[in-house]
Structure 1
């Protein structure tokens, strides 16, 4: 678009060749691999203006020649901005194809490694902790494809089952486990099925399992000392009233639904707006651009029930990890 090459700091920081502390390429890593430094493009902060739309790019895209182009950020860094995760206390959880949890960090601690992913934030000098489950919403999409029913019908079945699905658990590890046990060998499945269980139990257990898996990330944030004062949920999972209630109860905290569905796109627009001076700073930009909806209240009784089920869920991976690898 501009005729120049470069990388924004967020993408570079998760490339395995980046140094998140210096926000540059890691000479130590490149030297160890005998890879030349000059093969890598310069790294710039996300809000940096890196060039303008060229005449050729204008002809191909329809964008006006001379339009300034900012470095931007990767999908999770954009989602953090679009979700308002630009200061301590605001945490974003989303169930899309995967499932993620994002927390703001002033600095990065080694204590979070091998459980969470540290990413350089689009906010200069700041960081994001990313926790995830690889197949959050994709788990329900798989069930939709296998049962041949719409999402609305599946969730209607799930509403007929009680909290905890009468002891039925689901592990959403279709493509391996992520936070806090990164393991490509882990696999999905229901455990605890009896003749008493129905399709409704199976779907509710699936929805609960995704929420349990995402709670792992929130527990990691807490261990790192990251406050969770406001918990915002978004993406496809927030369209389901039942799944939103399950999240609030499993997390043990009220959740605020984000009305804006394309959160990453909003984040990218905010980054560009700051880069060209439309917005003065991230805080004012987020206040203007992010639309928040209703608050889903957690229920004390359900929270207590889910606490017991979550502790049982936490036992599954340690018990099964050797079996998965064999």
Structure 2
């Protein structure tokens, strides 16, 4: 048996997978977010450990015999978080999360240093880890001086699980300190933020061993040791492993809180000026590119709350048949934007409202706006060398067939929906655990799921969507001010 642990922003998921890669069971526990000031987003690392214990206890209660057979554990987690530990491995403050925007000025400062883009292949985004450490050096210097280790969220959980300071290549790629081409830390970039290699965890590949479960947890969880903990992956790379997106040309579109187009690569292809993320994949000798928008289902959920409905009900009310865009345009920049704009200050907007704009018209506009933002990301990915012929859809928003039709028609690419099942980050983490324990061929393990249905571009409506997309794009400069 293999245990996949996915540390999400709002909760942790524990998934049990057998030797035949069948999902045996899963359990979850919540991890609340603290927002003490506007633009801040933090979590207490102790909550991650408590949530992990709770989820594991629930899974053990459901499946005691199966859980007792766990051989290895894989980890996935939300990226970019700055989690500081002192010399005694005690957290110094709450972790600063990926969606925290306080370090915008520090990110701009570091991005002006040409070494960062040249060596990491990426813009220094405000959500990345390095600018957060510079912010801490400026605003919390006493805590910064006491920092012995800087760990990403899933690796802070690993510290509790194993006592080891280890990270993997995919997660480390989002710090602005890793050179993805060399798959190693860059000393000059660490020094630019007042750190050294001693502050960093050791690096392993996602499919390699990354510690062993502590004796105390072996006893508490009723496991026979040793239980290996794999290197694991950042959440999007882990999701890709779960869906078998590991080879050149394979790609997925994720409709989660944020929106992602993820393309697997057999080479490192940076183009930082495009705001495309170019990172290591979770497997040796492989990389990936990502276009990231910050509000996908988050935008529809926001609108659902405003209307006193649910996202699912809003989608169902549209019916099965795709409609041409109307007069209303929605820009989904509720918390800024990454690809391709790299703009933390821009905010969302409705345009073209009139007396005829009813709830359905606004629902369609929100879905279309997210699709147009994804299309802008796709154009940036294509300019960065990605060649994509179709996409696999994942995330909560993929439950809406209407939305997938909008995305396929807007992007001009078929979108495939997998058969019912769990192919997300926790499943990918379990697959990495299997690879680390068995040494199996990654291509034999990381196979794609069967496809339940495919959504092809509606050629008759494609010109109307292209015209609406162009109208959408013209609105950005006015909002950017």
d(CA) in 1 for partners of 2:398, 2:316? 15
Offset of residue 59 of structure 1:
3.0
Which residue does the alignment assign to 2:452?
A: 293
**Residues 93-112 of structure 1: matches in 2 within 5 Å?**
93-112=253-272
1:208-219 correspondence runs (5 A): 208-219=368-379
Q: What SS does the aligned partner of 1:146 have?
A: helix
The two structures have a TM-score, normalised by structure 2, of 0.63
Instruction: Name the counterpart of 1:68.
Output: 228
**Partner of residue 231, structure 1:** 391
Residue 147 of structure 1, aligned match among 294, 298, 307: 307
Match of 2:285 in 1: 125
Q: Is the 8 A contact 1:53 1:64 kept in 2?
A: no
Which residue matches 1:275?
436
8 Å CA contact retained: 2:165, 2:201: yes
Q: Which has the higher contact order (CA 8 A, sep 6+)?
A: 1
1:303-322 CA-to-partner distances (Å, cap 9, x unmatched) read 22211211221222123211
1:164 positional shift: 4.3
> Offset at 1:50?
2.4
Contact 1:52 1:68 in 2 (8 A): yes
Q: How does 1:1-326 map to 2 (within 5 A)?
A: 1-159=161-319, 163-259=323-419, 260-277=421-438, 280-287=440-447, 290-322=449-481
- Deviating runs (4+, > 6 A) in structure 1? none
Q: Deviation of residue 27 (structure 1)?
A: 0.8
Distance in 1 separating the partners of 2:347 and 2:380:
22
Inter-CA distance 161–248: structure 2 relative to 1 (3 Å threshold) = closer
Cα distance, 1:51–1:249 mapped onto 2, change above 3 Å: same
Is 2:207–2:435's contact at 8 Å kept on the other side of the alignment?
A: yes
Q: Give the C-alpha shift of residue 131 in structure 1.
A: 1.0
Contact residue 187 and residue 196 of structure 2 kept, 8 A: no
| Alpha-carbon distance in 2 for matches of 1:114, 1:220 | 6
Taking a change above 3 Å as real, the CA distance of residues 261 and 190 of structure 1, as seen in their structure-2 partners, is: farther
Distance in 2, Cα, partners of 1:295 & 1:258: 9
Q: Structure 2: where are the runs of 5+ without partners?
A: 1-160
| Structure 2: distance between partners of 1:296 and 1:41 | 43
Distance of 1:53 and 1:33 partners within structure 2: 32
In 1, are the aligned partners of 2:230 and 2:436 still within 8 Å (CA)? yes
User: 1:26, 1:198 → 2: CA distance?
Assistant: 54
After superposition, the CA RMSD in angstroms is: 2.0
1:137-181 Cα offsets, whole Å, 9 max, x none, are 011111111111133331244449973442211011111112100
Distance in 2 (CA, whole Å) between partners of 1:277 and 1:123 is 14
Pair 67,160 (structure 1): closer, same or farther in 2 beyond 3 Å: closer
Structure 1 length as normaliser, TM-score? Answer: 0.91
1:58–1:113: structure 2 CA closer, same or farther, 3 Å change rule? Answer: farther
The 3-state SS of whatever aligns with 1:69 is strand
SS at match of 1:21: coil
Structure 2 residue matching 1:248: 3-state secondary structure: helix
More helix as a share of residues: 1
Q: Is the 8 A contact 1:120 1:127 kept in 2?
A: yes
1:98–1:133: 8 Å Cα contact kept in structure 2?
yes
| Count of aligned positions | 320
Q: Is the 8 A contact 1:161 1:204 kept in 2?
A: no
What CA distance in whole angstroms lies between the structure 2 residues aligned with 1:200 and 1:249? 19
